[in-house]
Chain A
Amino acid sequence: MHQFLFIVFAVFCAGGAINLLVQRKTINSALSLIVVMGSLAMIYLLLGAEFVAVVQVIIYAGAIMVLYIFVIMLLNAGDEEASKGSNVAKYFGIPGLFIGGIIGIGVLLKHRPNDTPLKLGALYGPADQVGMLLFTKYLLAFEVTSVLVLIAIMGAVVLARRSDS
């Protein structure tokens, strides 16, 4: 059952990611990104990360992607213009990615000996336990995030504000 569910959602996930790359319309790319995020939430659930799965749906798929779609609509970003890609990307980026990928897969395969098989919900992470950690060990990080969010709000206001007389 676990294997079956994993394969189904992994296929959705990978399919969404590939679809994002091949679509020429920005809005279609955004929708396939939502598919990726939704199926990732299910995969988190398979691993037992209950809280993270919920937050993934609410924040990522719910808030962030809505913002994207809103901006796409606002700016009327239609088809992507076909134009030459940058040379840096073509001659260094893609081969670099390819080599990096091969190295990565090689390492992962080598890594297999202590490859732990995971049961369904192998690490149960409910909201109360995550919350406890958040407000003890990670208290400072949590408080500092408020500065980050403040900067982001201020930046969005400063940059996107209509020109003032």
Chain B
Amino acid sequence: MTVPISWYLLLSAFLFACGVTGFLTKRNVITLFMSIELMLNGVNLSFIAFATRLQTLDGHIFVFFVMVVAAAEAAVGLAIIIAVYRTRETLNVDRVNLLKL
């Protein structure tokens, strides 16, 4: 029993699309941020799937670095969210609108 690679790729594209949808529709900053994590997870699955098809470990390394970057982003992002919360007392992106978009 085997699984074709395109199944993995479709799952990864689905995760990515869910992340994009979340980013565009959700209103809570932390949820927006989690949607981005979801997108990154989708990308990681693509890397692993392609690495398996190409029989090279380079894809695994890339995933490793993506995780490091995601961790760094999480630390900074959550710090920014805390700083915004202190000056604003809200986590709703629509309320954070002193500057007009």
Measured CB to CB, the nearest residue on chain A to B41 is A40
Measured CB to CB, the nearest residue on chain B to A21 is B22
For residue B17, which residues in chain A have a CB less than 8 angstroms away from its CB? Answer: 97, 101
Does B72 contact A17, Cβ atoms closer than 8 Å?
no
- CB B81 to nearest CB in A, in angstroms, measures 7
Which residue in B7, B67, B91 is a CB contact (below 8 Å) of A55? B67
Does B57 contact A130, Cβ atoms closer than 8 Å?
yes
A30-B34 contact given A104-B13, A148-B72, CB 8 Å threshold = yes
Contact mask B50-77 → A, CB, 8 Å, 1/0? 0111011110110111011111111110
Contact mask B27-62 → A, CB, 8 Å, 1/0? 110110111011001001100110111011110110
Which residue in B2, B52, B80, B94 is a CB contact (below 8 Å) of A48? B52
Q: Could you count the A-B residue pairs with CB atoms below 8 Å apart for me: how many are there?
A: 229
Measured CB to CB, the nearest residue on chain B to A156 is B79
B24 contacts the other chain (Cβ, under 8 Å)?
yes
Does B6 contact A112, Cβ atoms closer than 8 Å?
yes
For residue B41, which residues in chain A have a CB less than 8 angstroms away from its CB? Answer: 36-37, 40, 60
A97-B20 contact given A2-B1, A130-B60, CB 8 Å threshold = yes
- CB B63 to nearest CB in A, in angstroms, measures 5
Q: Chain B's interface: helix, strand, loop or mixed, by majority? A: helix
* Interchain CA distance A112-B4 in the complex, whole Å: 9
- CB A142 to nearest CB in B, in angstroms, measures 8
Does A55 contact B22, Cβ atoms closer than 8 Å?
no
Does A10 contact B68, Cβ atoms closer than 8 Å?
no
**15 residue pairs A–B, Cβ–Cβ below 8 Å:** A14-B11, A14-B15, A20-B31, A21-B18, A30-B34, A36-B41, A47-B8, A52-B44, A60-B37, A81-B95, A101-B13, A123-B56, A151-B76, A159-B80, A159-B83
The residues of A with any CB-CB pair to B shorter than 8 Å are 1-4, 6, 10, 13-14, 17-18, 20-21, 26, 29-30, 33, 36-37, 40, 43-44, 46-49, 51-52, 55-56, 59-60, 63-64, 67-68, 71-72, 74-75, 77, 80-81, 83-86, 89, 93-94, 97, 101, 104-105, 108-109, 111-112, 115-119, 122-123, 125, 129-130, 133-134, 138, 141, 145, 148-149, 151-153, 155-160
Closest 10 CB pairs of A and B: A152-B72, A117-B2, A89-B24, A17-B18, A156-B79, A159-B79, A93-B24, A160-B79, A123-B52, A155-B76
